[in-house]
A and B are shown apart, each in its own frame.
Chain A
Amino acid sequence: MTLYTSRQIGLNGRHGGMIAPVIAVGGCDLHGPQSALSPAGVGAEQISSLFWWMAGGAVLIWAVVIGIALYATLARPRKKHDVQGARWLIIGGGIVFPTVVLTILLSYGLMLIPKLRSTGNVDLHVAVSGEMWWWRVRYTSPAGEPVELANEIRLPVGKRVSLSLTSPDVIHSFWVPSLSGKVDMIPGRENTLILEPTKPGTYRGVCAEYCGASHAFMAFRVVVMEPQDFEAWLTHQAQPAVSSGSPSARQGEQAFLVNGCGACHTIRGTAADGRVGPDLTHVGSRLSLGAGMLPNDAQTFARWIGHTQQIKPEVRMPSFGMLPEEQLTALATYLSGLK
């Protein structure tokens, strides 16, 4: 499956903000970045083995039932079966067998829960808040300072991570199928999800609870890294923004502050300290833009800033298409350069 769905975006507002998503669906790709069947975390491994056992059992039961049906209708046994035997077949196959199987499955499922949910031995705490329609992510830096990031989660491989999940607006649900099951983010409540990634790689997470117009565009990447790479990454993310300082980037920084972007966005190290939208301090280093919607390059920055409303229905950021082309380009250069 391709990470970025290819979609044509009506670039002139005349199409009434219509977007025509041409989504390249990868069919049944078991090894995609968002597949519960190619697990890369302890939770997902247990879920997928449970799935395969249940699928196998279901196929077996189906075959037996269909086999008996075919026997009864096609084979037409010459000798009638006696009523007593048939009754025991019904009691055995229709009551005892399913009860035993369901009891085993239920006990197995219940047995998994305490270990999966235990908050003991946690190496890392991350707070994630689902907001219409993006993800606010809070780490604690190696120096003990809170670091706010957005729309991307990086985790050290082999470590147990506790995510505290909240929402300030409506119910969302946090789901990274490759790593674990999903947990709802409920306003006024703090839910916990334990992740234990086992394979380095880049996975896709989504909101799994309908939350409004752009629910389907509320995704994020999870990058599982070697622990020392993770430390380096987090240390870097904790730093203030570093701009390239080129004339265009400097013009972009000016445009950012002058046009009021800073009322909603923070760029650490500048005067912009808004808290409404995602932190943009290192936005250029992320793998995607607009909560998993667009690839991250200067071109898509310009498109996002100029056509926000057309790209993402009802998004809580105004389009800045009225800005002169040159300012949009400068903003794009500046922001994409914030690595």
Chain B
Amino acid sequence: MALHLDVKRSKNVLVARLDGELDHHTAAHVRKVIEEELNHEWVTHLVLNLEKLEFMDSSGLGVILGRYKRVTQMGGKMTICSVQPPIERIMEMSGLFKILQMFQDESSAVSACGVAS
């Protein structure tokens, strides 16, 4: 698998760190793992850390928007952090930042969720 996914818990925030390449092929795995984690009772919010994400295309946008809808429906907040410039460009193009807040580092992204809860 060209994508590695690491999930950890920080109080009621699920933090998912993506490492590698997010395309249509690897998107299925990311979706499945995060959806399973979101089923846990303790999870309210979601942070995606994209520091080690080296490649993403529009399939990645679909996965992010899908999780955003789920978390928002659960009454939670979703933020992203540490986005590489080429990926930020694609996100910008899609208007993703109109609904999703981006942070420089993981701790800011996590505390931004805490503030909202």
Answer yes or no: do A and B interact. no
- Residue positions of A touching B, CB distance < 8 A: none
